[in-house]
Every structure is written in C-alpha cells, then in structure tokens.
Amino acid sequence: MSIQKASGAKVQIAKDGPYTVTGDLPLSKQTIGTNSAGESVKWVEGQAYPTRGAYALCRCGHSAKKPFCDGAHAKVGFDGTETASREPYEKQATISQGPTMSLTDAEKLCAFARFCDPHGQVWNLVNETDDPGARKNFVREAGDCPSGRLVAWDNSTGQSIEPTYEPSVGLIEDPAKKCSGPIWLRGGVQVIGSDGFHYEVRNRVTLCRCGASQNKPFCDGTHASIKFKDE
C-alpha cells in the first residue's frame, strides 16, 4: 500500500465559507475532453489564473467573482456542514480483484467525470487485466478519475498506480454536460476541516464548489444535475 506524501500545500475550509488555499498552488481550468462518441478520454489544461500566496475559492456557488470568494456565502446563508466520511479512503472502498490488477472504489466520492466508462467500463476491464491492452486502458481510466474514487493496484507489488501530479488546483469544466465541476486538488494537498480535522492526504480529491453536494466538502456530482456554471 502506498501513502501519498503531503506537499506542504493546504486548503483550509471556513465554517459556512470559502476554501483558503496556501502554499503558492497554481490554479487553472481543467476541461474534460471527449472522443467522437462523447466519452471522457483526456484532460485538457486550460486558462491559468494569476495567483500569489494565499487565495480564497468560492464554496457556496454564489460568488460573482468565481472562482474566488466575494463574501456571498454570508448573504445567501450558505450551510457548508461537512458531512463526508472521515475514514481513510481504503476503509471506505470496496475492492475488485482481477488477474493482474485490482480496483478499489469509494462510490460516495464520485464527481461524475465519466473517465471510467470507455472500453466497457473500468469495473469490467479489471477482470481482463491479463490482456496488456485492457490493462493499459484500466490503469489510465482509474488514474484519470479526478476524485480518487477509483484507484488501480498492481497485484504483484501491492502498490497503487497513481498519476504524477505537481501540487496544484484545477477547476473542472464539463462541456459535454454543459456545466462546471468541482475543485480538483492534485499532488498531495492537505485539506483541513472547519473544525481543524485533517483529512487524509491523497494524490487526487475533488471539492464541491457548487454548494449543493450532499457529501461536503467533497463533490458528489450534483453540479451536473443543477447545471452549475462558473461564469
């Protein structure tokens, strides 16, 4: 089992308020790129925002200065209660064992980015991982899952296979569903709850920025059903 190293960068959650990001983390749009069948197949790096030092990102979905906080959470009476499980990922996840690789899955963390769908879905691909082509697709699909709901594991080493990310913050855009998605923390960013709780440090997590997730502070895909737009 591998444990993600903390990068030193932090996101502090304010009670019913924004996320304050410290550690000079770059901030950019990250768009879900699709193939001709409309399937999610690649991440496309987009606009970079100039940031210096600490910055506060909107968590309620109502700021007029998105992605930054403008204090709107107080005016709209935002309830940002953190309801997500605080158990480590591996305790929340179920495991599917394939011939050469395994898949862990913590369904509640799904951000609805759909990288798990092509090639017959990642839950089927894991059972075909004795085939090199299927194994390659399996590893890519699990690694492209932005929320870290899905993780690929090598059965022979017992290690997870994670993409390499510099510590950074992404703002997900989903043109196929005509909506904006969550805040994507990559590369081992420490998230600290409004009560001081230190969430498990992971290589990939997605934080709700539409204000409507039932699994705060994490995204649960609700932004797609409410057609949240970062405009």
* Binding site residues, ligand FES, CB under 6 A: 111, 181-182, 208-210, 212-213, 219-223
If the CB atoms of residues 111 and 125 are measured against ligand FES, the closer one turns out to be 111
Q: Is 113 in the site for ligand SF4 (CB under 6 A)?
A: yes
CB of 62 to ligand FES, least distance (A): 12
If the CB atoms of residues 15 and 178 are measured against ligand SF4, the closer one turns out to be 178
Q: Is 106 in the site for ligand SF4 (CB under 6 A)?
A: no
CB of 139 to ligand SF4, least distance (A): 13
C-alpha 150/C-alpha 21 separation (Å) is 25
If the CB atoms of residues 181 and 188 are measured against ligand FES, the closer one turns out to be 181
Q: Is 145 in the site for ligand SF4 (CB under 6 A)?
A: yes
Size, binding site for ligand SF4 by CB under 6 A: 12
Among residues 115, 138, 218, 228, which is the contact residue for ligand SF4, using CB under 6 A? 115
Nearest to 60 by CA among 35, 45, 77: 77
Q: Which does 145 bind (CB under 5 to 8 A by kind): ligand FES, ligand SF4, none?
A: ligand SF4
Q: Is 150 in the site for ligand SF4 (CB under 6 A)?
A: yes
Q: Which does 219 bind (CB under 5 to 8 A by kind): ligand FES, ligand SF4, none?
A: ligand FES
Where does this chain bind ligand SF4 (CB under 6 A)? 110-116, 145-147, 149-150
